[in-house]
Every structure is written in C-alpha cells, then in structure tokens.
Amino acid sequence: MTRRFNWMNPNDMEVKSCSICEEEIYGAGSNPQPVIHNGIKLKVTDTCCNSCNVKVVMPIRLTSTNYRKDLN
C-alpha cells in the first residue's frame, strides 16, 4: 500500500529534488515538460521547483509551437 502524504502538514512532506536545478522540493512540485535537460527530455513523472517552473518551463511553453495533431 502506498503511503499518502498530508501536504497541509509541513512535518509530513515527501522530499524530492528538482530535475532542473537539483534543489530540494517539499510537496508535489511542478511538471517540467517540455524541457530538455542535459540531453534528456523530462517526463511528467519528473518534478521541478516553483522557481524553475517560472524561469525555465513557462517561457518554453509559451514560446514553443504546439505540433499535436489532435488539437488542430
């Protein structure tokens, strides 16, 4: 059985590391897609910190072209 973390309790947080800057993340983190870091395309299961999400991920999302055929 998987243990569920109570995100409202600061003493009960899962500690992860940011896939971009390697800083510690407390809680869920953010989706780092479509960032490619060190030649590896980051997946949904990877996480990034709020700082990298604002400075790296969001600008890439806003400037990249969407090539998904199911949305056109």
Give pTM, 2 decimals: 0.70
**Which residues contact residue 34 at a Cβ distance below 8 angstroms, ignoring those fewer than 6 apart?**
41, 42, 60, 61, 64
Q: Residue 12: pLDDT above 80?
A: no
- Structure confidence at residue 70 (pLDDT): 59
Model confidence pLDDT, tens digit, residues 17-62: 999 999 988 778 899 988 888 888 888 889 999 999 999 999 988 8
> Is residue 7 very low, low, confident or very high in pLDDT (cuts 50, 70, 90)?
low
d(CA 51, CA 59): 12
- Structure confidence at residue 15 (pLDDT): 80
